[in-house]
Each structure stands twice: as C-alpha cells, then as structure tokens.
A and B are shown apart, each in its own frame.
Chain A
C-alpha cells in the first residue's frame, strides 16, 4: 500500500539515450515534485506541479521535461542523457503548496548513465 511509488527503481543506460521515470501517489495530494540527489548527497528541487500545473521550474536543462497527466501522477522524461545526469531522482507529494506541509517522498530512482 505504497503512498508514493516510482518506477523503475534502477535505471542503467548509455549516454545519448532518452528515458522516463514514472511517479504515482495515492495520498490524494494535489502537489507533486521532482528532486535530484547527486553523488555528494545534495538534494535539490527540480520541478513542482500543483493540480497538473507547473509552479516551480528550477534551473534544469531543457532536456528534462516533466509531465503531469493528472494530480496523482508526475512523470519525468530525460532526453539525450549525459554522464552528469547520474543521480537518484526522488518524487514527492504534499497536500497543497503551503510551506508548512509535509512532503512525502517516493523510494527514489537510481539513474546511472554510462
């Protein structure tokens, strides 16, 4: 009965490929996020969607394109993968955008680009 789920859990691919990561939450939340945790363990916001609308788009290369088909899903597509994209990508969700709301994280997708 996972609250925030991501697929795949592991992704190993070659430079230049295009890949997608999927995220689903069953908490009834209306706000979802993508974070990147690099090899130095630094966790950084990439995107945020509220009710399927993009509300945060940090300085992320435009090779990264999020898509939210509905409030329960937020997918991340990455074009032309580069070595520096290797990281753990976490999806998260919260109820609303209020700053005090807890964010619930998925288990992460460990991406390795060779």
Chain B
C-alpha cells in the first residue's frame, strides 16, 4: 500500500465550479501535512500547509482528519489558472512523502 494515496483524476471542471480533492495516508505517526501544486513540466510549489483545525487561504480550504488519516482540499470559484496537478504531501518525520497527484483542468 502506498504511503499517500490520491485519486489521479483528471478532474475537468468549468470556471467558477467548486472542486474537492481527497487524500489518505498510511503512517499514523505522520506529523505534518501539505498540499503542493505542480504545473506541467515545472517544479512543485507549496500551496498550503494543512492543520487539524482546518485552514483557509482565499478560495482554498484544507482539512485534516487524523483519526481517519484523511486530508482534503476544496477549491471554490475555480479559475483557469488553477489548472495544475495537486500533490498531497505528508511528512512522517524524516522526509516529504508525495502522493501521485490529482490533475485538475479548469475549462472556460
């Protein structure tokens, strides 16, 4: 079983839509959680950290459920520029473990 699992998509949504991505992780000792964004043929960049209390950054909301070992990302009012691959990332204490990513395409 992979340490971090995500639905690879692709998710094709119209502009303005709300889209949610889910992720599960296997190591219950994991300490830190993130969503990174990777554009085509580019490097990953931090989108946001994820906290147990949930956190919001503009149109983006991240949630963490430690009991279920589940992380989510909600994007409201999707923009064309949101098209990218979203990587669920977990740090169990020694290195970042990346999911394979969920591909999002926002269409006009």
User: C-beta contact mask, A26-51 vs B, less than 8 Å → 1, else 0?
Assistant: 00000001000000111111001000
Among listed A60-68, A69-77, A102-110, interface-contacting one: A102-110
Question: Does B59 make an interface contact (CB < 8 A)?
Answer: no
Tell which of B32, B43, B94 touches A105, judged by Cβ atoms closer than 8 Å: B43
- Cβ distance A89 to chain B, nearest Cβ, rounded Å: 11
- Total interface residues on B, CB under 8 Å, equals 21
A48 to B95, CA, bound (A): 8
Are the CB atoms of A99 and B93 closer together than 8 Å?
Answer: yes
A40 to B98, CA, bound (A): 13
A107 to B32, CA, bound (A): 24
Are the CB atoms of A42 and B98 closer together than 8 Å?
Answer: yes
- Give the secondary structure class of A's interface: loop
B98 partner residues in chain A, CB cutoff 8 A: 42-44
A58 to B100, CA, bound (A): 18
A99 partner residues in chain B, CB cutoff 8 A: 31-32, 91-93
Are the CB atoms of B101 and A90 closer together than 8 Å?
Answer: no
- Known contacts A40-B100, A42-B100, A99-B31; A56 and B43 CB within 8 A of each other: no
A-to-B contact residues, CB < 8 Å: 33, 40-45, 48, 55-56, 58, 90, 99-100, 102-103, 105-108
